[in-house]
Structure 1
Amino acid sequence: MNDLQRLKEMGITIWDVRRPECYPDVSPQPVSLPDDCKLLLVCESKPTEQEAFLFSKVLASMKLSVEQALHLPPQAVNLLGKHQLDWCWFAGTKDTDIEGVKRLTSPSLAALDNDQLAKKQLWQQIKHYES
């Protein structure tokens, strides 16, 4: 079994080499998303249980299910391969232009949960794309 298979079995699908100079033969692999993924949440860490509840409520307002969304850390966005995304939500991180995708920005989910103004601004962004 090779190292990539071990990582995959452990559920680690996105990884970075911390010292790439030590591994000149390793090149970053493109991140592939399932065809049913319509929204990509880009933030530093996977949502906690409370943040996931807020996230699911926002998705429902967009007529999307949790199964249609995936989390990706910011450093992996540059590795995004072919996709069928409709939305990319940058939560608490710098946004990146992804061609053909509606882009949302907000504070982190933890900060958003307690900030009514930020929630309103996120809602306005979503509605802007729907009109």
Structure 2
Amino acid sequence: MNDVQRLKEMGIPVWELRRPQLYPNSSPQMVALPEDCKLLLVCDSPINEKEAWLFGKILASMKLTPEQARLLPSSAVAHVTQHQLQWVWYCGVPAQGGLATAAVLTSPSLNVLEHDQSAKKALWQQIKQYDK
């Protein structure tokens, strides 16, 4: 059991820095995803309301709920500890390794997806490739 899991069991909230570069002397913290997390959206920009709506629609097409998804910046992916992920979606960022047990999706940012039908089609084809 790692320190983060131990703190959670004790009922102590665990926080992650949004901008760790502001604290150069802090060591990177491990990221523990909840067991019900099935999709990790790796995205470096905040999501606005329109993008959240699109993301919700894509999740629904994958038979997932928003509660089963988490968003992390690309800099935090290397710090993910044990997980139950089925999907890792690199949205507007280059794909990384490290979460090999999950199906990997890549796409432009949600803002671009919203307006680009060919990008939506390419994402849908990736989803269908894994969802057989």
Gaps of 5+ in 2: 1-11
Gaps of 5+ in 1: 1-7
**How far is 1:53 from its partner?**
0.5
Query: What is the distance in 2 between the residues matched to 1:119 and 1:51?
Result: 13
Matches within 5 A, 1:65-104: 65-97=65-97, 98-104=99-105
Q: 1:13 aligns with which of 16, 19, 25?
A: 16
In the TM superposition, what whole-angstrom CA distance separates every residue of 1:53-75 from its partner, at most 9, and x where no partner exists?
00000000000000100110111
**How far is 1:45 from its partner?**
2.2
**How far is 1:46 from its partner?**
2.8
Matches within 5 A, 1:4-83: 13-15=16-18, 16-18=20-22, 20=24, 23=25, 26-83=26-83
- Structure 2 residue matching 1:29: 3-state secondary structure: coil
Matches within 5 A, 1:90-129: 90-97=90-97, 98-129=99-130
Runs of 4+ in 1 over 2 A off after TM superposition: 11-15, 17-20
In the TM superposition, what whole-angstrom CA distance separates every residue of 1:13-38 from its partner, at most 9, and x where no partner exists?
24414463xx2xx4211001111010
Count of aligned residue pairs for this structure pair: 119
In the TM superposition, what whole-angstrom CA distance separates every residue of 1:80-116 from its partner, at most 9, and x where no partner exists?
1111111000110011122101000000000000000
Q: CA RMSD in A?
A: 1.9
Query: What is the distance in 2 between the residues matched to 1:105 and 1:48?
Result: 20
On the 8 A contact 1:46/1:71 being kept in 2, the answer is: no
On the 8 A contact 1:14/1:31 being kept in 2, the answer is: no
How much identity, in percent, do the aligned residues show?
50
Q: What TM-score comes out, normalization by structure 1 length?
A: 0.84
On the 8 A contact 1:37/1:67 being kept in 2, the answer is: yes
